[in-house]
A and B are shown apart, each in its own frame.
Chain A
Amino acid sequence: MATFDISSQTTPHRRLHRFAVFLIDSWEARIGGAILLVFAIMTVFGSVLAPYSPIEIAVGLPNEGMSTAHWLGTDVLGRDTFSRILCGARSVVIVPLVATMLAFVLGGIFGIASGYLGGRFDAVGSRLLEILLALPPLLVVLVVIASFGTSSTVIIISVMLVYSPRVARVLRGAALGVATKEYIQAAQARGERRLPILLRELLPNISSVVLVEFAVRLTYAIIFVATLNFLGLGVQPPSPNWGAMLFESRVTIITNPIATIAPTMAISTLAVAIGLLADAASRRFGLDDTSEIVR
């Protein structure tokens, strides 16, 4: 007879297996996953792998095109573009990632509570969200940076502030749909407390929405942070950053296009990869209740 672990719903092993099946199952997930893996390696090992120092001036001639010494050429100040791309990954990946995660913690708790509890809490909370949503994101961030100066922490907090009401609204809708389900009522009827109901009964059933929304939000955040950097509101020179690189090299876009193309490609490829994974995940979870996924 099969033994089973009664305390957990799925053994970690099976979860891993399911995730692996999911990854190799669709071409979107495969391509997206592979690209993301490259970016993950860049984020962690970028500075080790870089052939030159990213901030050292004149390692080559300024505005040099692609060559064997400098794979992606050099920029206006003769810095190696390839090294700067590698080292710049960290600020472009980590800042949006942390900001999005925090936005999910803040907005997620608020949105799910609002959707589940309903009533006055939801009515007041939803109006508050609407006020926050009416503020233009860039304006909010400009105000925050103008008041507190710029640093990674300030950018993370301001992006979180901009995105939490958006996350809250999406997750409120998802929670609202699940909150009236009979298995939630069954849990209430056996006297379960609110937190276990939310964590055990509700959250697993909106996890697909959470996952997809996270991926979409992260993509936006990456582009948003890159925009801030492009506008000079983010990481300050000379430290390498894709958004700032774009800004610096825009004057040589005709004479030395690779210096502009390289950071552009990096940002868009990253965004596309996350988008592909999100697509695959949403398609997969969409099937969840009706077809066999647990193999």
Chain B
Amino acid sequence: MTPALTVHNLTVGYLDRVNTAEVNVVVRDVSFDLHSGRLLGLAGESGSGKSTAALAAIGYKAPGSVLISGRSQLGDVDLLTTSVPELRNIWGGQVAYVAQDASQSLSPLMRVERLLAEPLRLHLGLRGPTLRKRTLALLEGVGITDPESALRRFPYQFSGGQQQRIALAVAMACEPRVLILDEPTTGLDVTTQAQIAKLIDRLVKDSGTAAILISHDLALLGTICDEMAIMYAGEIVEQAPALANKVAPRHPYTAALLDAVPRVDERGLVVGIPGLPATTAVNDCCAFAPRCRFTTDTCRAHHPELSDYGQGHTVRCLRSAELGALSSQRHPPVASVLGSNANTLLEIQGLVCSYRDSHSPPVVDHVDIRIGGSEIVALVGESGSGKSTALRAIAGLHRPDAGEIIYDGVPLAAQVTKRPRTQHRDIQIIFQDPHASLNPRHTVASIIDRPMSILFPERSASDRRERVYFLLDQVRLDAKIADRYPHQLSGGQKQRVAIARAFAAEPRLLLCDEIVSALDVSVQASILELVAELTSQTGTAVLFVTHDLAVVRAIAERVYVMRSGVILEEGSTDSVFEHPEHQYTIDLLAAVPRLVAVSRD
């Protein structure tokens, strides 16, 4: 069977921002075939070139990008040599693209009817009743209830999941031969994500479209893709039929990534990949060599080519033949070293929070939470469940309407400014986005120093300076970083600085607000490792707010499941994950794509 799209030796670079004469290669020698009715999963961390490769393959030239070589054959047409006016006849018709955030990709000025009608009118020349009938059928096809009224509405009147459904309907309008899905489920809630994934799977199978699904979520790709390609530093390092890839990774990067992904069905801490992802392609050594645990001198001197292991399984590693299938390096489940649960550090009783300007029901509605002396407790819920508001109330950043927060036997003042200095020290908060939580005008040293200088005024500047270096070392950052500004650091490094800042105050209770959700998988894993290690060393209790059930399983001892401001279920992580009682918890857990469960089939 001839492939719908054949991409061959695609190499793309970006003009260097400082020295515009130079080109940084970000996609190197990428080849793949897309077959109709089949879904190719393209995985990799941010900066691995997965989106650039997919977009370049359909002839899109991003501003500043340079096509260096390659061919992309759609039937008789090479998309890479086709002019943009001609490509416009192909894009939206034979080739469709779905972007990550539908709220950004659907024009807010157009009603759904016009969004859907545009490609149909442009590419198929449909008019009048046929056009309308087709738009209705499309909306029905993506599972929008009451399509008649949906046509008259604007995109913002739909939820995120429904918007993505509409975006899919727009993309499928002209029954494209090739469909590019660029992280279509990222940013959606778990249950919505599962529904969208199912929809994508069905659409591709039914329509016979050849599709690429770009994602960093290996479990998701594993559940719906027919084939998977893992990208690192602009190259495909491993490509395999989906099932084989899950069972026996042969490339050390794939194996390390799988170990870094937290899993809902398996206890035990994830393993981070040391170092930072490479951002540009290299051709004189193995790009993964600096982070790989199998590196030899050969790896640093030679660039590996793809070698074939049969059944469409190819691997770009010099040692793959000798290493064979790689096994997991995950930490064995810790033998239930539950923190001292006996003495209560924080107890919340009947907490009610609402936002003054809204007359809607309270976002936190009579919530009770208890955290033991050095326990890691997770508060898990989908967006809008009120979990972050509850956390902010504990931190004193949101004034609750009712309820008591008792810390160490003493009720906490509602406002942080009314609390004594010892409580400021004891309770520290780390935010989701390290880019926003570090002041861009302060150096790393002054960021970490600040809590000490106001919370421990008795300490001398030289004591504090010593401690800054100690903390940097604890969070595995180089001392050189002390003089840098946040924008000179990567996301993971920034979050480490934020962690160091929190530990600078020597807290007894650490409040973590989605601290890993903005990070790449390998970085996320090492941040989780770090938090687990530091808190067990210092005996700090943690309240970990997250939407990610797998992260909860990896780190927390006890878990509270929250929805619409109400705690639905509470218990030890193992019992809640293995024997969930509330229907919502059962649904949530069922919605999470699993790495291992599928491979057992």
Residues in chain A within 8 A of chain B (CB atoms): 1-2, 4, 6-10, 181-183, 185-193, 196, 200-201, 204-205, 207, 288-292, 294
Would B468 and A188 count as touching, CB distance under 8 A? no
B448 to chain A, nearest CB (A): 9
List which B424-465 residues lie within 8 A (CB) of chain A: 424, 427-429, 431-433, 436-443, 445-446, 449-451, 454-455, 461, 464-465
B588 to chain A, nearest CB (A): 27
Would B488 and A292 count as touching, CB distance under 8 A? yes
Q: What's the A-B contact tally at a CB cutoff of 8 Å?
A: 96
Would B397 and A189 count as touching, CB distance under 8 A? yes
Q: Point out the residue from B437, B465, B487 that lies within 8 Å of A182, measured CB to CB.
A: B437
Instruction: Give 10 closest A-B pairs by Cβ, nearest first.
Output: A191-B424, A204-B441, A182-B437, A183-B439, A182-B436, A182-B431, A189-B429, A189-B395, A6-B465, A190-B451
Would A191 and B436 count as touching, CB distance under 8 A? no
Between A and B, 23 residue pairs with Cβ closer than 8 Å are A1-B479, A2-B479, A4-B443, A6-B449, A7-B446, A9-B441, A181-B436, A182-B432, A183-B438, A185-B397, A186-B429, A186-B431, A186-B437, A188-B397, A188-B417, A189-B416, A189-B424, A189-B427, A191-B454, A196-B454, A200-B442, A205-B440, A288-B440
Would B440 and A289 count as touching, CB distance under 8 A? yes
Residues in chain B within 8 A of chain A (CB atoms): 17, 395-397, 416-417, 419, 421, 424, 427-429, 431-433, 436-443, 445-446, 449-451, 454-455, 461, 464-465, 468, 479-480, 482-483, 485, 487-488, 498, 501, 505
Q: Point out the residue from B416, B432, B442, B482 that lies within 8 Å of A191, measured CB to CB.
A: B416
Complexed CA–CA distance, A289 and B488 (Å): 9
Chain B residues positioned under 8 Å from A187 (CB to CB): 450
Q: Point out the residue from A1, A2, A6, A185 that lies within 8 Å of B464, measured CB to CB.
A: A6
B286 to chain A, nearest CB (A): 28
Would B461 and A190 count as touching, CB distance under 8 A? no
A192-B454, A292-B488 known; A9-B446 Cβ under 8 A: yes
Would A7 and B461 count as touching, CB distance under 8 A? yes
A192 to chain B, nearest CB (A): 6
Complexed CA–CA distance, A182 and B430 (Å): 9
A185-B397, A294-B485 known; A6-B446 Cβ under 8 A: yes
Complexed CA–CA distance, A189 and B392 (Å): 9
Complexed CA–CA distance, A10 and B395 (Å): 30
Q: Point out the residue from A4, A190, A289 that lies within 8 Å of B424, measured CB to CB.
A: A190
Chain A residues positioned under 8 Å from B438 (CB to CB): 183
Would A2 and B483 count as touching, CB distance under 8 A? yes
Q: Point out the residue from B436, B482, B488 that lies within 8 Å of A4, measured CB to CB.
A: B482
A183-B437, A191-B455 known; A6-B445 Cβ under 8 A: yes
Chain B residues positioned under 8 Å from A288 (CB to CB): 440, 487
Complexed CA–CA distance, A181 and B439 (Å): 9
Complexed CA–CA distance, A130 and B519 (Å): 44
Apart from A2-B482, A191-B417, A193-B417, list 4 A-B contacts with CB within 8 A: A10-B443, A185-B397, A190-B454, A294-B488
Would B468 and A6 count as touching, CB distance under 8 A? yes
Would A4 and B440 count as touching, CB distance under 8 A? no
B485 to chain A, nearest CB (A): 6
Chain A residues positioned under 8 Å from B428 (CB to CB): 189-190
Nearest residue in B to A191 (C-beta to C-beta)?
B424
Chain A residues positioned under 8 Å from B455 (CB to CB): 190-191
Would B487 and A290 count as touching, CB distance under 8 A? yes
B125 to chain A, nearest CB (A): 44
B388 to chain A, nearest CB (A): 11
Would A4 and B397 count as touching, CB distance under 8 A? no
Complexed CA–CA distance, A57 and B105 (Å): 73
B15 to chain A, nearest CB (A): 14
Chain A residues positioned under 8 Å from B468 (CB to CB): 6
Complexed CA–CA distance, A100 and B222 (Å): 63
Q: Which of A6, A10, A181 has the most CB of B within 10 A?
A: A6
Complexed CA–CA distance, A77 and B451 (Å): 68
Chain A residues positioned under 8 Å from B483 (CB to CB): 2, 4
Nearest residue in B to A207 (C-beta to C-beta)?
B441
Chain B residues positioned under 8 Å from A290 (CB to CB): 487
Complexed CA–CA distance, A1 and B479 (Å): 8
B517 to chain A, nearest CB (A): 14
Nearest residue in B to A201 (C-beta to C-beta)?
B439
A182-B431, A288-B440, A294-B485 known; A4-B416 Cβ under 8 A: no
A176 to chain B, nearest CB (A): 16
Q: Which of B429, B439, B505 has the most CB of A within 10 A?
A: B439
Would A2 and B429 count as touching, CB distance under 8 A? no
Chain B residues positioned under 8 Å from A2 (CB to CB): 479-480, 482-483
A210 to chain B, nearest CB (A): 13
Chain B residues positioned under 8 Å from A191 (CB to CB): 416-417, 419, 421, 424, 454-455
Q: Point out the residue from B416, B419, B443, B505 that lies within 8 Å of A9, measured CB to CB.
A: B443
Q: Which of B421, B445, B446, B464 has the most CB of A within 10 A?
A: B446
